[in-house]
Amino acid sequence: MATQHTCFIAGHAKLPQGMAAKSVFDSLTITAEVDRKYGVILEASCTLATDHGRQYIHDLLKGISLRTELAEAEALIARQYKGKATNALIAAVQDLYRQYEAMLEGNEEV
């Protein structure tokens, strides 16, 4: 679905000790294809250890606008994801937002 109207960004956060994904990755990464103009997450993936966890985060974030709904994304994760990676997921979404903002600042044509 990649087009000139989307961008691919990644947000990173440190994983807590004791997580299955920690044996494979040092950090948690959320990647997203985002609509440049409105900041809406079209597709999202993350480095959680299980397919089910990755799909769940995709489903939570898809349709969220980084431009206007960052707090909603954080609240959804805090309310609905009950695992050791909760804080890392929230931090990765915040970093995803920072990457989106940096992309906007570097691009006059959005």
Q: Does a structural domain hold residue 108?
A: no
- Average pLDDT across each block of 10 residues of the chain; the chain has 110 residues. List them in order: 85 75 68 96 93 96 96 96 92 96 75
Give me the number of domains the chain comprises.
1
List the CATH number of the domain containing 51: 3.90.1010.10
Separation CA 70–CA 37 (nearest Å): 15
Please give the helix or strand (H or E) that residue 10 lies within, else none.
strand 6-14
Question: Which residues span the domain enclosing 49?
Answer: 6-103
CB atoms within 10 A of CB 77: 20
Q: Does a structural domain hold residue 49?
A: yes
Residue 25 has a pLDDT of: 56
Q: Does a structural domain hold residue 1?
A: no
Q: Does a structural domain hold residue 21?
A: yes
CB atoms within 10 A of CB 22: 18
Residue 23 has a pLDDT of: 47
